[in-house]
A and B are shown apart, each in its own frame.
Chain A
Amino acid sequence: MIREHVPHAARLSFLLILTAAFAAPSAWADLPQQTPSIFAPASAPASSIFGLSIFTLAITGGIFVVVGGLLAFAIIRYRERANDDTSEPPQIYGSMQVELAWTVIPILIVVVLFLTTARIIFAIQDAPQPKDALDVTVIGHQFWWEFRYPKLGIVTANELHVPVSTARDPEPTYLHLLSADVDHSFWVPQLAGKTDLIPNHPNETWIEPTHTGLYYGQCAQFCGVEHAKMLLRVYVDTPAQFAAWVKDQQQAGAEEPQVAAGREIFETHACANCHAIKGTGALGTFGPDLTHLASRDTIAAGAANNTPQELFNWIKNPDSIKPGCLMPSMQLSDNDIHELVAYLETLH
């Protein structure tokens, strides 16, 4: 595992230049403004990639200044002027020495850049998994994310919770990437580069977040009509927060008698064919597990906030929020949907 430390000031200045200067005012006031910039890393692989990218930028920037400067000089210095005579300039056909020089210098640059790149590739890709690392299986679906914590017995969707990693208590998370249908790609820019989820081709990646907070990502491989709304959130929790979240998620679905009507609608309609709620007869696996739906901030893979009103709209007509998504409108009466929403709201 590599820990190339990026000076905080450098990171901050990039953020200031690239994000603050261009940030658009938020239209959805209840969502925190946060740009998932690759130059604002908050996790181990993303930060070593950031270091490598600054190194590459410095080299390519230097080349640009030199070659671009020579080009600009040449076209200005050697432009045809109004008082020039009509004679042709001296004809020069080439020079072996010069050709050799501008072949060898790029080769040397390539060697340096290649060796640096290779070192980081091996450091990231071949990092051995520590025994106590958290394992999460990520399954891409059209158009949502399934997260399974096999050692903890948790199944959830679209909002990944992981513990923060500190120098005293390193806590990386290893992600095993699968797909249930077509190609997807797991990308949370501030945590790690992307890795594809390809059917019948298991992949792996890891993150080791050093800062708590909420990080945005989304599917980065076109996967069909609602690819744009296959959003992804990663909550990096303190160890205490994470332990509390795990404890909650391991419970069966809440049972409150005053919402029994909604629960019955859920279990006796087609909802149960696609969605599971632990502790009930609903065992479907085509859609997200809803055992702790109310503990999530968003619905529909981040396409809407998890409020009773949005939940109502979503159940009544999913296409109004996410046109083309695979959840059908069940043609329930408004009253039934209200009962259903009341039940789902209790699933903390």
Chain B
Amino acid sequence: MADQSIPIGGSLDAAPRERERLPLLDRLHEWVVTVDHKRLGILYVLYALFFLVVAGAEALSMRVQLAVPNNHFLPPEIYDQFFTMHGTTMVFLVGMPILFGIANYIVPLQIGARDMAFPRLNAFSFWLTAFGGILLYWSYIGGFGLYGMGNAPDVGWWAYAPLSTKPFSIGPTVDYWALALIVSGFGTLGTAINIVATTLSMRCKGMTLLRMPLFVWLMLVVSALTLITITPLTAAQVMLLLDRNLGAHFFDAQAGGSALLWIHFFWIFGHPEVYVLVLPVFGIASEIIPVFSRKAIFGYPAMVAASVGIAFVSLGVWAHHMFTVGMSSVGNTFFVLSTMMVGIPTGIKIFNWLATIWGGKVRFQTPMLFCVAFLFQFLIAGLTGIMLSVAPWDWQLHNSYFVIAHFHYVLVGAIIFNIFAAVYYWFPKVTGKMLSETLGKWHFWLFLIGFHLTFDTMHFVGILGMPRSIYTYEANRGWGTLNFIISVGAFIQGIAVLIFLWNVIVSLRKGKEAGNDPWDAWTLEWATPSPPPAYNFASDPVVHSRRPLWDIKHPDDPDWKYES
């Protein structure tokens, strides 16, 4: 057991030969035809960051419009397009690609593999996803042909039928929406299959399932969940396209179709989708919090069980988005119970992170700052989720700004915060350069202040009765001041993101050299050079515990003595 199979630090003689510098066109060509999981991971992340800026700009425009009552900054048609595109973009073109991109890069490294199981499928999936995003935004240009430049889907990212059917949404914009998501959905399915196959069959010697890093575990769970959850959306969108273009009547209430059917289909996809986005960031937090607390993760088996449990329960809670559609009292009660049950494994996760910090030596570098903020914000998001699961209260809160506040607490307060943490954490591995800590702290504190100004305030304006999806409101409702604060916070977040992008550019050019293992971490990706060579590991690693690098750094007190 005690023989050291993995070289650490600079001892690995795997530094790639200095490559000759190719002309620009050849280098671009290399990126387009690449099947390397690391390059595809970088492409995913860059693609997602681009759309993060686009969808962020859409959000800021909406916040200008809502900053004061009765404003005329955006006409209603444009406002409706912006909130539809903002939601669709953030979920499908930012959230999923950036998380699958990080997984693409990190998962093979963490399990000691040289690539994903299906490298060509990997490339195919990325380009499908990328094409889907371009198709969605092409609707701005080609929505009505040249006569209708500037049209885009305007039915909400939930696209409830019959509003999204032909009589109420003429022109092809909704067709763009459905087709684009079907295309990018196939890309997502390809990646999900790939991750499942990779984690199940590409692990290095000694890495049993219960020795996989938690990030890998979470990506396995998420990928399995993705395979289940994308399908109903694709089915519903195919039905919608049939309704719109071939005269079918799935959702046409006047011809005996059902408007309710769409709502069910959408949320059978839509609720697990939230977990597809949030579970990977649980994995990210479970990597970063132990390293920066200098302790092993507390209750690893419980964390794995809770993750699988959340994924499983998440498949049975969709109708808590539908407490107001007029279900029976028994139906409502069932979904109250199933929804509240999600709180139990989620609570276990929060408690285990807390116990990991407890008794540690916490280092507040930028990745950990984002993770600590995540813990508090996710606690609040979970508790407002419990409030929304109380169906009678949900009859009040549903479709109000309280709901917007709740899910942005999850999507921004938990997911985006942890994605930033992940970027600060793994950027040194990917580029060989450290991100600037000074700029990182500016980014963190500004983003934190902006986030709380915006989304804390949204809870209150929701309680005061402001519904979502409205492009303007009357002055006498008492929502004006709060909305102004929300808008100010949004712009502070925008500035923070610009600082982050600036940090990336500056650090790429002049950042401190990272070395192989800048955080003194314990998982396999830190045993390779930064950036890793195309083949990742010169020799196949062998591991004996969940923290192979800990074992090597502490030969007198290795993990495998204690892990059951």
What residues of chain A have their CB less than 8 Å away from a CB belonging to chain B?
18-19, 22-28, 31-39, 45-46, 48-49, 52-53, 56-57, 59-60, 63-64, 67-68, 70-71, 74-75, 78-80, 84, 88-95, 98-99, 102-103, 106-107, 110, 113-114, 117-118, 120-122, 124-126, 142, 177, 181-183, 185, 187, 189-190, 192-196, 198-201, 203-204, 216-229, 231, 323-324
A107 and B393 in contact, given A35-B464, A118-B333 (Cβ under 8 angstroms): no
Would you give the shortest CB distance from B333 to chain A, in whole angstroms? 5
Would you give the shortest CB distance from A45 to chain B, in whole angstroms? 8
Complex alpha-carbon distance, A67 and B350, angstroms: 9
Cβ of A199 and Cβ of B399 under 8 Å apart?
Answer: no
Residue B383 interfacial (CB < 8 Å): yes
Complex contacts, B475 vs chain A, CB 8 Å = 24-28, 31
Cβ of A26 and Cβ of B376 under 8 Å apart?
Answer: no
Cβ of A38 and Cβ of B359 under 8 Å apart?
Answer: no
Complex contacts, A106 vs chain B, CB 8 Å = 343-344, 347
A228 and B476 in contact, given A92-B298, A102-B347, A198-B259 (Cβ under 8 angstroms): no
Complex alpha-carbon distance, A227 and B154, angstroms: 12
Comparing B110-118, B155-163, B491-499, B500-508, the segment that makes contact with chain A is B155-163
Complex alpha-carbon distance, A94 and B470, angstroms: 49
A94 and B302 in contact, given A64-B383, A71-B376, A110-B340 (Cβ under 8 angstroms): yes
Cβ of B376 and Cβ of A36 under 8 Å apart?
Answer: no
Residue B76 interfacial (CB < 8 Å): yes
Q: List 8 A-B contacts (CB under 8 A).
A: A27-B475, A35-B477, A74-B357, A80-B363, A92-B359, A102-B347, A117-B391, A196-B325
Cβ of A18 and Cβ of B162 under 8 Å apart?
Answer: no
Complex alpha-carbon distance, A215 and B236, angstroms: 39
Complex contacts, B559 vs chain A, CB 8 Å = 91
Complex contacts, A79 vs chain B, CB 8 Å = 361-362, 364
Cβ of B380 and Cβ of A121 under 8 Å apart?
Answer: no
Complex alpha-carbon distance, A75 and B374, angstroms: 13
Cβ of B326 and Cβ of A198 under 8 Å apart?
Answer: yes
Q: Which residue of A lies closest to B168 (CB)?
A: A182
Cβ of A99 and Cβ of B359 under 8 Å apart?
Answer: no
Residue B463 interfacial (CB < 8 Å): yes
Query: How many positions in chain B have a CB within 8 Å of any CB in the partner chain?
Result: 103
Give chain B interface residues in 58-84, CB to chain A under 8 Å.
69-70, 75-77, 80
A193 and B324 in contact, given A74-B354, A200-B254 (Cβ under 8 angstroms): yes
Cβ of B396 and Cβ of A53 under 8 Å apart?
Answer: yes
Would you give the shortest CB distance from A323 to chain B, in whole angstroms? 6
- Contact with A19, one of B299, B354, B363, B478 (Cβ below 8 angstroms): B478
Cβ of A222 and Cβ of B396 under 8 Å apart?
Answer: no
Q: Which residue of A lies closest to B465 (CB)?
A: A36
Cβ of A38 and Cβ of B463 under 8 Å apart?
Answer: yes
A195 and B324 in contact, given A37-B463, A52-B392, A113-B386 (Cβ under 8 angstroms): yes
Cβ of B354 and Cβ of A93 under 8 Å apart?
Answer: no
- Contact with A228, one of B257, B389, B470 (Cβ below 8 angstroms): B470
Cβ of A114 and Cβ of B336 under 8 Å apart?
Answer: yes
Complex contacts, B376 vs chain A, CB 8 Å = 68, 71
Total A-B pairs, Cβ < 8 A:
308
A228 and B472 in contact, given A90-B359, A117-B391 (Cβ under 8 angstroms): yes
Q: Mark B256-279, 1 if CB is under 8 A from A, else 0.
A: 111110000000000000000000
Cβ of B476 and Cβ of A220 under 8 Å apart?
Answer: no
Q: Which residue of B lies closest to A201 (CB)?
A: B260
A71 and B70 in contact, given A60-B386, A118-B336, A121-B333 (Cβ under 8 angstroms): no
Q: Which residue of A lies closest to B475 (CB)?
A: A27
Residue B375 interfacial (CB < 8 Å): yes
Complex alpha-carbon distance, A32 and B328, angstroms: 38
A198 and B325 in contact, given A23-B478, A93-B298, A93-B563 (Cβ under 8 angstroms): yes
Residue B253 interfacial (CB < 8 Å): yes
A195 and B392 in contact, given A35-B478, A121-B336 (Cβ under 8 angstroms): no
Would you give the shortest CB distance from A300 to chain B, in whole angstroms? 13
Residue B473 interfacial (CB < 8 Å): yes
Complex contacts, B173 vs chain A, CB 8 Å = none
With A99-B299, A198-B326, A222-B80 known, 16 other A-B pairs at CB within 8 A are A38-B465, A49-B396, A78-B293, A79-B362, A80-B363, A93-B299, A94-B300, A102-B351, A106-B344, A117-B333, A125-B328, A181-B168, A182-B168, A193-B393, A194-B395, A195-B395
Comparing B3-11, B415-423, B479-487, the segment that makes contact with chain A is B479-487
Would you give the shortest CB distance from B239 to chain A, in whole angstroms? 17
- Contact with A195, one of B299, B326, B480 (Cβ below 8 angstroms): B326
Complex alpha-carbon distance, A56 and B257, angstroms: 38
Would you give the shortest CB distance from A86 to chain B, in whole angstroms? 10
Complex alpha-carbon distance, A25 and B76, angstroms: 24
Cβ of B392 and Cβ of A120 under 8 Å apart?
Answer: yes
Q: Which residue of A lies closest to B375 (CB)?
A: A71
Complex contacts, B257 vs chain A, CB 8 Å = 200
Cβ of A27 and Cβ of B298 under 8 Å apart?
Answer: no
Complex contacts, B562 vs chain A, CB 8 Å = 91, 93
Residue B332 interfacial (CB < 8 Å): yes
Cβ of B295 and Cβ of A64 under 8 Å apart?
Answer: no
A68 and B76 in contact, given A94-B299, A122-B329 (Cβ under 8 angstroms): no
Residue B337 interfacial (CB < 8 Å): yes
A204 and B326 in contact, given A193-B392, A218-B467 (Cβ under 8 angstroms): yes
- Contact with A323, one of B76, B363, B386 (Cβ below 8 angstroms): B76
- Contact with A80, one of B299, B361, B389 (Cβ below 8 angstroms): B361
Would you give the shortest CB distance from A279 to chain B, in whole angstroms? 31
Complex contacts, A38 vs chain B, CB 8 Å = 396-397, 463-465
Residue B390 interfacial (CB < 8 Å): yes
Q: Mark B332-369, 1 if CB is under 8 A from A, else 0.
A: 11001100110110011011101101111111100000
Complex contacts, B386 vs chain A, CB 8 Å = 56, 59-60, 113
A22 and B399 in contact, given A80-B361, A89-B359, A121-B336 (Cβ under 8 angstroms): no
Would you give the shortest CB distance from A329 to chain B, in whole angstroms? 17
Q: Mark B118-148, 1 if CB is under 8 A from A, else 0.
A: 0000000000000000000000000000000
Cβ of B400 and Cβ of A220 under 8 Å apart?
Answer: yes
Would you give the shortest CB distance from B79 to chain A, in whole angstroms? 8
Would you give the shortest CB distance from B383 to chain A, in whole angstroms? 4
Complex alpha-carbon distance, A98 and B254, angstroms: 57
Complex alpha-carbon distance, A67 and B383, angstroms: 11
Residue B469 interfacial (CB < 8 Å): yes
Residue B220 interfacial (CB < 8 Å): no
Complex contacts, A120 vs chain B, CB 8 Å = 392
Cβ of A124 and Cβ of B364 under 8 Å apart?
Answer: no
Cβ of A34 and Cβ of B254 under 8 Å apart?
Answer: no
Residue B407 interfacial (CB < 8 Å): no
Complex contacts, A228 vs chain B, CB 8 Å = 76, 469-473
- Contact with B344, one of A26, A31, A98, A107 (Cβ below 8 angstroms): A107
